[in-house]
Every structure is written in structure tokens, then in C-alpha cells.
Structure 1
Amino acid sequence: MIRLLSPVALLLILAQPAVAQEPPQAAPVAEAEAPAEAGSTAAGSAQAETTQAETTQATEKQAPPEDLVRVRLVTAEGTMMLALDRGRAPVTTANFLRYVDQKRLDGVSFYRALTFPGRPDLGLIQGGIKSDPKRALPPIAHEPTTKTGLGHGDGAISMARGAPGSAQGDFFITLGPLTSLDAQPGGEGDTAGFAVFGRVVEGMDVMRRILLAPVSATEGTGAMKGQMIARPVAILSARRAD
């Protein structure tokens, strides 16, 4: 069984001081594990599914209704339409909209593409201010998926962060379900997951093109080496569409 991701293994961009000028970093990505015995795998899967179902039911009961705000993200590869869930993720959505309304995302880029060998249906692209102190706004409180009821499904948009409560102006978009990036109650270490606050409703073909962009073999540090897009894809503008 291959564990593709874990919340601790994929810290999408370690929060750096505003003055930091180095490329964003990440903790090591989990390597392939040896196959478990059939009996233990089935039992573990059943237990995990039960726990996940209980967590999902709890969050669905607590989650507020949708209140969507659409944002048009124009890139050098085409346009994506985002639907931000202000009702379920008010803090994170308000933060992103501040970057949009103040035009702090105009001229930044998608600079990272994470793919998985043999799994063309999975991946993510990361973009934003890249911790640029001239564009950064203060960090925001973390809204875990256990609170919002949202999850890292296909086309989810979520905040990159280091420690919980450090997210600013870097974000990522997922291809395929990457539910291991959701909060993991009862786990060990950093189990807060990443803060989903919306989804791509138009333009996933654009996302896929960016995901397939050539990456540099030398740029990036740690686990992010080999994931940095050789020619970052410019974000030309980000505007409310409603």
C-alpha cells in the first residue's frame, strides 16, 4: 500500500519570516511503504473508514450553509473560476478576498507542481505571493476541515502554511481527492491539516496544464527539490466575478 501524503509529510510551504528571500520549503514527502498483511490491511481500512464516516457526519451537522463568492483567476495558461465558501470558511475566504481586492495577487505566479508517478489523476499546484514581504498580509487563524466540513477533493483550493495559524498569501489547488491533507483527529504530530476554502468550478483544464509544466531539477530545497516549475506560470489578475 502506498501512502501518498500525510499532513506532516507535506507541509506545502513552511511559514517563513516576512524578510525571508529563500524559496519555500517543505518537510519530506512520505515514501512508499511495504505492503501490509491482507488481514491487518482490511481491519485497518475498516477502522479508518468508520472513523472517517463518524468525523464526516459530525462536521456535516456543524457546518454552516454555503455562501459562495466567485473569483476569476486569469493566468498565462488560461482562466479558472473559483467558488470561495464564505459561509463555511469565513476567515480564510475573507483573507483571500483581501489579497484579491487589494490586487496583491496580480503578477504573482504558480511556482510549484507536485505530481505522483503512475498516478496522473493526482497532484497539486501551488501559487501565490511566495512569502514576498511587500505583498504579505498578517497571518490568519486556521480553519480546519473538521470545523468547516470542506475537504481536499478534486479542484479544492486550500491555504499553504507552516504551523497552524501561519497562512498568508500562498495557496494550492488539488487534482483528485487528497483527503490525507484534511485534518486528522486522533493522529500524531501536526494533525490540523490544511484550510480548504473553496473549489475550482471552471477551468480545471488550465489547472492540469499548469500541473504538467516542466519543473527544474535543481531548484527548491528539501522535498520540494524537483517540484518547482522551471518557468512559473504568471497569475495576471484575480478579480471578484459576482
Structure 2
Amino acid sequence: MFSFLALSLAAAAQTVPAQTTQLPPPPPAVPAPVTAPVEADTRPYVELVTDAGKIVIRIENRRAPITAANFLRYVDSKRMATVFKFYRTTRSWGEGNALVQGGNRGDARLNYPPIAHEPTTVTGLTHCKGAVAMARLAPGDATSDFFILLSDIPGFDADPSASGDNAGFAVFGELVSGLDVAEKIYAAPVSPAKGEGVMIGQMLEPEFKILSARRIAAPADAPQGCVVKAAPRP
């Protein structure tokens, strides 16, 4: 009897179909988003240590190569830390025309030869707050003196439609940190008598020395800035 029962169970196992579970197909793979590679910022950055504190400037060497190379030459040769000072504030012009000016206020023999003028109509740069540009009397006579804008001054841009000297000034960089330092220099006391012409009453007393000037790595938090207005003219 037991053998008969065993045979019956075996037969039943052969005749009853096995139960299977149907699983849904796996969802299609979602492709990873394609992102454009981030271009490394290869522009030079310069740290100036002054009597008033540190200032960091980003140099637009691809847009204004001649002017940028001139500034970096003073930095790399250590001449900037030898005789350069911030010596001028335009506080007397009002908040809408605010800048501080620096350069070689010692031995003029330490100036490199004048450089060709790079107008903003060619470089695509502009004189916005924080812009760094070369001081000059006439296009092509700039040597060591430069200024930092503490307000937008679009009238400093080149304007071919204007009469007379319409070449503007040559922007070559931008302040990325140390705005408070530049504003401290701007607000400092001035001599009532020093200077010539429009610079009378604008000469800082005392002046602010540039104690050191060196290239540094691009700061991780460097702002995008405002000086890049348009693509440079080919």
C-alpha cells in the first residue's frame, strides 16, 4: 500500500505543471547626463600686498596681451615691489568717477619702454567697477602707471564716434578681491597742494606702498566679473 501511495504522488508530480512567477522586465537604463567639460581658468592672477592690505587682480592676457604682458613684466621682475605705490585718489571727482591710481613714483629709469595702446573696441573689455586699466596721456605712451575703478566709468571706453582723443584707456584686468582695501586707499587723506592740473588735491599723503607683488593660483571663489563685454575683434 505504501508503494502504491508513493507511485501515486510521483505520478501527480509529473502531471501538475510547475508554478512560475513572471517578473516585469527591468526598466531601460537612463543614460548619464552629458555635461560640457569646464574649461580651466588659465588667466594669470596677481596678489598685491600694500600698506592697506591685499588686493588680487585677474589679468586678461588673451584679450589685452600687450598691456597684460607689460603689467606682468613689472610683477615678475620685482620692480613693482621696489618703487610702486598707490599715490592718487579721485575722491574729489565724486562717487560716479571713483578710482585709485598706482605706479612707479620713484626712479623713472626703472620704467620699461612705452607700450602700444589696446583700445576697448579691440579687446572687448570695459571700464566697469573693479576694472584695472593703464594710465596714459596719449595713446601709446603708457609705461607703469595703472588705476583701479571703484565705480562704472563707461566714458573711459574707446569711442570712435567721439571727436579728439577717442581711444579711451586700455583695460587689462579686474579686481577679484580686496575691494575694501582699494576703498580704504580711495578714502585716505590727500595733500591740498601736491599734483599738477586736475591732479591737485588728489595726491595721497601719505602714499601706500606696494610691499610685494606675485602671481598666485586662480582663487576657487573668484567672481566672474564684469570687464568682459564682448568678444575681442579679430
State the TM-score, normalized to the length of structure 1: 0.70
Distance 1:202 1:101 in 2: 20
Share of identical aligned residues, percent? 49
Look up the match of 2:150: 175
Matches within 5 A, 1:51-62: none
Contact 2:96 2:153 in 1 (8 A): no
Aligned match of 1:216: 191
CA distance in 1, matches of 2:72, 2:202: 27
- Match 1:163 to one of 125, 138, 143: 138
Instruction: Please give the per-residue CA displacement for 1:148-185, whole angstroms capped at 9, x wherever unaligned.
Output: 01011011000001110011110000011011011011
Which among 48, 67, 88 is matched to residue 92 of structure 1?
67
Question: Rg: which structure is higher?
Answer: 2
Measure how far apart 1:130 and its partner are. Answer: 3.4
What does 1:1-242 correspond to in 2, within 5 Å? 68-107=43-82, 108-116=84-92, 119-120=94-95, 122-130=97-105, 132-242=107-217
User: What CA distance in whole angstroms lies between the structure 1 residues aligned with 2:112 and 2:79?
Assistant: 9
Work out the CA distance in 1 between the residues paired with 2:52 and 2:107.
23
Write out per-residue CA displacement over residues 45-84 of structure 1, whole angstroms, 9 at most, x where no aligned residue. xxxxxxxxxxxxxxxxxxxxx8521000110000010000
Deviations 1:214-239, CA, capped at 9 Å, x for gaps? 01100011111000001001110110
Q: What is the rounded CA distance, in whole Å, between the counterparts of 2:137 and 2:102 in structure 1?
A: 15
- Kindly state the Cα deviation for residue 121 of structure 1 after the two structures are TM-superposed: 5.8
How far does residue 122 in structure 1 lie from its aligned partner after superposition? 4.2
Letter in 2 for 1:156: A
RMSD between superposed Cα atoms in Å: 1.5
SS at match of 2:183: helix
Match of 1:14 in 2: none
Q: Distance in 1 between the 2:42 and 2:114 partners?
A: 23
User: How many pairs align?
Assistant: 176
Length-normalised TM-score, structure 2 = 0.72
Work out the CA distance in 2 between the residues paired with 1:181 and 1:236. 29
Deviates more, 1:126-135 or 1:100-109: 126-135
Q: Deviations over 1:91-129 (max 9, x none)?
A: 000000000000111042100000256x44640000011
1:67/1:87 contact within 8 Å kept: no
Q: Secondary structure at the residue paired with 1:86?
A: coil
* Poorly superposed stretches of 4+, deviation over 2 Å: 119-122, 130-134
Q: Secondary structure at the match of 1:186?
A: coil
SS at structure 2 position matched to 1:126: strand
Instruction: Output the amino acid matched with 2:172.
Output: F
Give the match's secondary structure for 1:134. helix
What letter matches 1:111 in structure 2?
Y
Cα distance in 2 between the residues matched to 1:71 and 1:183: 26
**Which residue matches 2:27?**
none
